[in-house]
Structures are given as structure tokens and as C-alpha cells.
């Protein structure tokens, strides 16, 4: 999939060996799993073990920790962006919204280990992707609101923040922590959902 090495044009000099490509995929997948379960501070050895690969291979691929984290983020964001596109393509605005909301919540829950300090990692490319995802979700939310299917008393960013409610804090999205406020809103909604009268 993605490689840190110079991409091979057409029939250039360095074709990138098959095993290298295979391992690159394994390492990235393992890193995602490891980061999700353990957090940003997983050891390289742990990732290597998870990938069934030697440590050297991981270090060779990602000499800097930031590069690895950026790759993980890029991978995740790519998935989410695709999900958001699907949601926006959905005829029913509510259905689109709720499925995206569910996916985001699920994702956030699975990646609780990532919480906080994600802005540090991943350069402008990741920032760009995150921006794209934010913009798409804004559209999905506002469309549902425009059609009267979704409460209008919450600005879209607040709705998005609720995404993190079933887990801890929104981590991929890079929302400001603001735990007091956001947390309170989540509670309000939960209570509204529970109340019968």
C-alpha cells in the first residue's frame, strides 16, 4: 500500500521486492492494532511481534516514531473519509448521519489508546486529510439538520464531539479537549434519550 521508499515509476531501477511490500502491509496493520490497544507509546518490539517480523524491519521502514504514527493516522483517516463519502451519498439524510455517527463512535472507541496529542504527529498531509474529514462530516450533519431530522440546537462541532461520548474523547478528529462542556452535552443528550416524558 503506502511506502516510505521512493515510489517506483514505470520500469525504474528499484522495483521494491515482494517480501518488502508484504511486510510493509503487515507492519502497518500491526501498528494500527497495537496503537489501538496499547496507545501511542507501544514499543517497536511489540509492534514487530504483532506483525510477526523482526524489529529491524520495523526500524528500517520507520526510522522515526513520528513517521510510523503518521502512517497509522493516514491509514485510519483514509478509511473514515471513505465512510463519510458514503454517508453523504445516502439518500436519507438521517440514515447517512446516523451511520457515520455510529462509525465514528465505533472507531473512537476502538482507538481509545490514541487519545490526545495527535496533532503533534503527522505533518501537513495528515492535517489536510483531517480537514477533509471534518468538512465532510460537517456537511453530513448540516444536511440532516436542514432536513429537520436532527436537532438544530447543537452546532455541528458539538454533534461531532458527542461521537466520542461512547468512548473517551474524540482523538482522530483533533477536537479541542474541552471536557467540561462537551461532556455535559453528551450527558444531556443521553438523559434526553432515556427520559420518557
Contact residues for its own copies, defined by CB under 8 A: 94, 98, 101-102, 105-106, 109, 112, 148-151, 154, 159, 162, 165-168, 179, 183, 186-197
- # binding residues, DNA (CB under 7 A): 26
User: Does residue 144 contact residue 94 with C-beta atoms inside 8 Å?
Assistant: yes
Q: Which residue, 132 or 166, has its beta carbon nearer to its own copies?
A: 166
Q: Smallest distance from the beta carbon of 175 to DNA, in angstroms?
A: 27
Nearest to 117 by CA among 186, 35, 49: 35
Contacts of 10 (CB under 8 A, 6+ apart): none
Nearest to 133 by CA among 197, 54, 195, 79: 79
CA distances to 61, 110, 150, 184 from 191, rounded to whole Å, are 48, 24, 17, 11
Q: Smallest distance from the beta carbon of 23 to DNA, in angstroms?
A: 3
Q: Which residue, 54 or 155, has its beta carbon nearer to DNA?
A: 54
Using the rule CB under 7 A, is 91 a contact of DNA?
no
Among 30, 34, 35, 53, binds DNA (CB under 7 A): 53
Amino acid at each position: 500500500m503506502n511506502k516510505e521508499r521512493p515510489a517506483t515509476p514505470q520500469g525504474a531501477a528499484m522495483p521494491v521486492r515482494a517480501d518488502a511490500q508484504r511486510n510493509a502491509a503487515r507492519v502497518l496493520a500491526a501498528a494500527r492494532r497495537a496503537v489501538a490497544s496499547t496507545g501511542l507509546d507501544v514499543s517497536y518490539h511489540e509492534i514487530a511481534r504483532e506483525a510477526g517480523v523482526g524489529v529491524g524491519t520495523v526500524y528500517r521502514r520507520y526510522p522515526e516514531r513520528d513517521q510510523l504514527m503518521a502512517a497509522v493516522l493516514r491509514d485510519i483517516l483514509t478509511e473514515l473519509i471513505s465512510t463519510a463519502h458514503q454517508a453523504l451519498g445516502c439518500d436519507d439524510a438521517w440514515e447517512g448521519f446516523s451511520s457515520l455517527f455510529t462509525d465514528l463512535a465505533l472507531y473512537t472507541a476502538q482507538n481509545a489508546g490514541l487519545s490526545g496529542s495527535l496533532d503533534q504527529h503527522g505533518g501537513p498531509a495528515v492535517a489536510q486529510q483531517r480537514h477533509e474529514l471534518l468538512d465532510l462530516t460537517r456537511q453530513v450533519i448540516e444536511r440532516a439538520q436542514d432536513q429537520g431530522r436532527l436537532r438544530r440546537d447543537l452546532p455541528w462541532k458539538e454533534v461531532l464531539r458527542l461521537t466520542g461520548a461512547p468512548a473517551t474523547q474524540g482523538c482522530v478528529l483533533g477536537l479541542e479537549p474541552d471536557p467540561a462542556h462537551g461532556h455535559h452535552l453528551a450527558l444531556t443528550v443521553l438523559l434526553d434519550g432515556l427520559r420518557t416524558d
